[in-house]
Amino acid sequence: MSILIDRESRVVVQGITGRDGSFHTRGMLEYGTRVVAGVTPGKGGQKFDDVPVFDTVGEAVEETKADVSIILVPPRFATDALYEAIESGVALVVCITEGVPALDMVGVYAAAHMNGVRLIGPNCPGLISPGKAKVGILPGSIHKPGNVGVISRSGTLTYEIVANLTAKGIGQSTCIGIGGDPIVGSSYLDLLPLFQADPETAGIVLIGEIGGTDEEEAAEMILSEIDKPVVSFIAGRTAPPGKRMGHAGAIISGGKGTAEDKIAALGKANVPVADIPSQIGDLMEKALGVNSE
């Protein structure tokens, strides 16, 4: 099984005719994702690789019954694209675009919740349910269908850890990159319960990084509400306090957000934390008690 997306998901791509939109649309189509529409204002009525293009997301949803939108537009258009998607009637919005102002995301976050829309991102790689569908930029070739869920604040680190899991024969149910910005649409707290409720997810990998208190909050939820085995990796152990490391949210400030804080909190929740990414596969095998292939 999987969460959020599957073979039946119907995807509309915002920015389908742009450089990034066209490249990643082809990648999604090649993977088998049902991309049913694209949106580029002013290009309605055209087609992109047999995918109909519309001027607005509302028109695309009405005509094609799309239920998932992926945003692959330049940063200056992303906020408007997010609001348009949220108001279109889709159930899931995935924003790949980075550089969305945090202040803009305050309003976008509120609008998504008011409209009952699940938002993933911004500044994220999206998500994939291996063998079923991918909505985003994750490389499909490294994934394998299976029963381990993955949630991550880091994009490329997700790829490294997933490749390690796959190499050990450990397949994945759904892998989600939530994004590394200070304000994102869905947090660990939003997604952990979905994996907990999925009968075919047997274990969970939580990939975190320095900055904020998301991992500490996740540890509290794991201790009280999650009975499936969870293993973790925290990036940024050697980062100096006060220096931003890559992601906008990956900054230690006010004595909070250090790797040590997060590792300690996860330890209290009985979550093994890998010293290096390549240890995740071994930790998950041990947590599951059997090879999950």
For 199, counting Cβ atoms within 10 Å of its Cβ (0-12 exposed, 13-18 middle, 19+ buried), the class is exposed
Longest Cα pair distance anywhere in the chain, in angstroms?
56
Using CA atoms, how far apart are residues 283 and 121, in angstroms rounded to an integer? 28
Asked whether the CA dihedral 247, 191, 105, 85 is positive or negative, the reply is positive
Angle between helices 75-86 and 102-114 (to 10 degrees): 10
Pairing of strands 145-152, 118-120: unpaired
Q: Does 113 participate in catalysis according to the annotation?
A: no
Q: Considering the candidates 24, 113, 143, 247, report the single residue annotated as catalytic.
A: 247
CA 66 to centroid of chain Cα atoms: 19
Mind telling me the catalytic residues? 247
